[in-house]
Amino acid sequence: MAESALDVGILADHSRKAEWGPGKVVKVRPPYVWVFFRDAPGRAARQFPESLLVRSSSQTDTILENLPPFTEHDGVQLLPSERYTLKEALAIFHNHAPEGFAPGGSAKAQKDRERRRAAQDEYARTLGAGQAEALLAADNVAELSTRMLQVLSLSRAPAADAAALREGLKDEVRARAFFTALLPYLVADLSEDGFGAYAAAATALRGDVTTGTAWPVLTLLPFLAQPDRHMLLQPTVSCPAAQRLGFQLPYQATPSWTTYDALCRLGRAYLAALAPAGARDLIDVHFFLSTLVIKPARPAAS
């Protein structure tokens, strides 16, 4: 039996289905190859004679590289659950947000996005361009906390998460340690060591607060300060949205670099994919994700 030129993990294109985009080879049994195509609907890999496939010119695709593991059922290679292609996800997004990524809109997800934009602008105005670092260098932790709380207030963060940050920033010792870790984290390249140091300070800032979850407290302020680099992890949005996109997000309730790094890969991949539709940063990506988990409205009582 002849060996295949396409190994498992290789990215391939279908010679007659350019609209399916690149695909990932998940099984090879010459002369047949099973491929999961990024832009084709469904959760199953498709079986083809190898003669219909060509090796993709690019062997890098973040979405295909972060698919969950496939399982085989009756000879069919399947993802764990149904997933949306980008085209399908955009249809859902526009159903909930007809204006797309343009400013305004009356839906809750749109209002949340506008509040985060206002908070981002406030951060830039009152803490950006070295102002936060200058306040910390002068040991003016109280003013730094006041300005950060104003940013938080404009974002309309969930009550439990906002309360955890407010309580932590009341303690000057914990607040100083938090800002001492946060500000270098914002200017450094994203790395496991930098994330770990910042996560430890953010966890300490929460202290004994048990309401809310650790992730929003950890990720909200970097997200508002630098939405071109940092993602907000809200477990009730990020986890189900990633699942519906077929993107493996190894969520752990305790903050970990593995989880955050995967979330940022998702954010960067979908920012690039959504840019032609008008997305400009990761605030827009989070807005897009939030529309994928909106529950259908209940029918009106008759």
User: What pLDDT, on the 0 to 100 scale, is given for residue 4?
Assistant: 65
Residue 3 confidence (pLDDT) above 60:
no
Residue 116 confidence (pLDDT) above 80:
yes
Could you tell me the CA-to-CA distances from 67 to 24, 36, 37, 70, 257 in Å, in that order? 9, 10, 11, 8, 19
User: What pLDDT, on the 0 to 100 scale, is given for residue 301?
Assistant: 43
Q: Give the mean model confidence (pLDDT) for residues 231-249.
A: 96
User: What pLDDT, on the 0 to 100 scale, is given for residue 212?
Assistant: 54
User: What pLDDT, on the 0 to 100 scale, is given for residue 292?
Assistant: 96
Residue 121 confidence (pLDDT) above 90:
yes
pLDDT confidence band for 21 (50 / 70 / 90):
very high
| CA Rg value for the chain | 22
Strands (E), the chain: 11-14, 23-29, 32-37, 46-49, 53-55, 71-73, 76-78
| pLDDT-above-90 percentage for the chain | 84
Give the residue extent of every domain in the chain.
11-78, 86-291
b/e for 42-58, b at 16 or more Cβ within 10 A? Answer: ebbbbebebeebeebee
Q: What pLDDT digit, counting tens, does each position of 164-191 carry? A: 888 889 999 999 999 999 999 999 999 9
Q: What pLDDT digit, counting tens, does each position of 58-78 carry? A: 999 999 999 999 999 998 999
User: What pLDDT, on the 0 to 100 scale, is given for residue 208?
Assistant: 59
The token pair that represents 184 in the structure block: 């270098």
Q: What pLDDT digit, counting tens, does each position of 206-217 carry? A: 775 555 568 988
Residues 6+ apart with CB under 8 A from 271: 279, 281, 282, 284, 285
User: What pLDDT, on the 0 to 100 scale, is given for residue 209?
Assistant: 53
